[in-house]
Amino acid sequence: PPSPTRCRGPRGRHGSAEGRPRLWRRMAAGMELQVESCGAALPAGSYVGIRIGDVLKQGRYEPQRTYHFPKADRRKAARIDIYRHVGSAVVNVDPESSSTQEVGVTSVDPDLGGVRLKVHARGGLADASREKREARATLMRTEAKDYLSKHGIEDKLAEAVKALLKEQPADPFEFLCGLLRTAAPAG
């Protein structure tokens, strides 16, 4: 298990002051962070948001919860935000169409009453982007196959591999390079 850092006052490790969350960090295939209150307890119903670079992880505050992040290419700061849940609303969305709906928010705070939201949803956007990517990938595959076919690359490689397996030379790379050089057109 990761070893915890200690809360050491206003200039403690990772800049944590008494009462601020304590971080646990461990490097592996990525990074894991665990946030635990040290000192004053966080209010009931608190949520934690942790951002490292472009990656954001959020969840209900649980001291034993571990947040997993992909391996960073360099040292980065982790921004930790603590939130309180205000309320919830449910909106039906249709990926095929666009709509605007007004919904009431069911609040957990008795002081907040009558909160309403207007929600605009637009469907079909991701499909157009996905279709564009698929069309580009198909075009690139076709161009690659045409190039390989035009120059007879697949046939030459297959013949070279067959000869390699038949001969089994001490230096297979040199053998393959020699075969491919003699098979290549002058130019």
DSSP code, position 186: P
pLDDT value at 1 more than 50: no
Q: In what order do the strands lie in the sheet with 78-84?
A: 55-60, 46-52, 78-84
Q: Note the pLDDT tens digit of each residue in 136-158.
A: 999 999 999 999 999 889 999 99
Q: Exposed (0-12), middle (13-18) or buried (19+): which is 50, by Cβ within 10 Å? A: buried
The C-alpha atoms of residue 2 and residue 30 are separated, in whole angstroms, by 13
Phi, psi (deg, nearest 5) at residue 106: -80, 110
Q: What is the DSSP letter of 24?
A: E
Burial 27-43 (b: 16+ CB within 10 A, else e): eeeebebbbbbbeeebe
Q: pLDDT-based confidence at 94, cuts 50/70/90?
A: confident
Q: Which of 58, 95, 101 minimizes the C-alpha distance to 80?
A: 58
pLDDT value at residue 125: 63
CB neighbours of residue 179 within 10 Å: 18
Whether residue 19 has pLDDT greater than 80: no
- With 0-12 / 13-18 / 19 or more C-beta atoms within 10 angstroms meaning exposed / middle / buried, residue 55 is middle
The first and second tokens of residue 9, run together, are: 């006052």
Backbone angle region of 156, left / alpha / beta, with phi > 0 → left and psi within -120 to 50 → alpha? alpha
In the structure, what pLDDT confidence band is assigned to residue 110 with cuts at 50, 70 and 90?
A: confident
Give the model's confidence band at 31: pLDDT under 50 very low, under 70 low, under 90 confident, else very high: confident
Nearest-angstrom CA–CA distance, 9 and 38: 10
